Amino acid sequence: MSDYSARAAAQEPIIPTMRELVRAYQAFSAYSEAHIRQFDLTPAQFDVIATLGNTSGMCMGEIGEKTLITKGTLTGVIDRLEKKNLVLREVPADNRRSVIVKLTYEGKALFEVIFPLHIAHLKERFEQLEKSELELLRVLLSRLRLAF
């Protein structure tokens, strides 16, 4: 029976969809990452800079929620960005247990340059789809995410 189950499972119609989803993510990720690395940043570092851009700063928890970087990883990412003088940590006087992470002047200048460049870089690929296809894709991906 287990042989039949494995054989039946291998015939499930969701398998080609799962493969295409993974291949699409891998292709997107490789394309995006190659561009980001040209600026001497990792994808996680870029994500933090992009998240902090156009804000007055955020606490670590907010950054973690918006970037989906785990707390342990986020601390290391912030440490490395701080060494590059792109972010700074501030402890508010009214809440000594909280830490606010802000872009430095250099971080803001970098954000102003690389964020629009990266969006334009990605937009070139997304523009291969019609607006209606992009909307359908967004809706379907949202529905898939909510299924889990």
Confidence at 3, pLDDT banded by 50, 70, 90: low
Contact assessment for residue 88 and residue 99, using Cβ atoms and an 8 Å cutoff: no
Whole-number pLDDT of residue 27: 97
Q: Can you tell me which residue has the tokens 């460049």?
A: 117
CATH number for position 90: 1.10.10.10
Total number of domains in the chain: 1
**Per-residue pLDDT tens digits for 69-91:** 988 899 999 999 999 999 999 98
Q: What is the DSSP letter of 55?
A: S
Contact assessment for residue 95 and residue 61, using Cβ atoms and an 8 Å cutoff: no
Confidence at 53, pLDDT banded by 50, 70, 90: very high
- pTM, entire model: 0.86
110 versus 1: the higher-pLDDT residue is: 110
**Per-residue pLDDT tens digits for 106-146:** 999 999 999 999 999 999 999 999 999 999 999 999 999 99
* 1 has pLDDT over 60: no
Confidence at 4, pLDDT banded by 50, 70, 90: low
The Cα–Cα gap between 136 and 142 comes to: 10
* 17 has pLDDT over 80: yes
Whole-number pLDDT of residue 47: 97
What residues make up the domain containing 43?
A: 2-147
Residue 24: both structure tokens together: 């699409």
* 37 has pLDDT over 70: yes
The Cα–Cα gap between 57 and 90 comes to: 9
* 98 has pLDDT over 90: no
Q: 87-90 and 58-59 as β-strands: parallel, antiparallel, unpaired?
A: unpaired
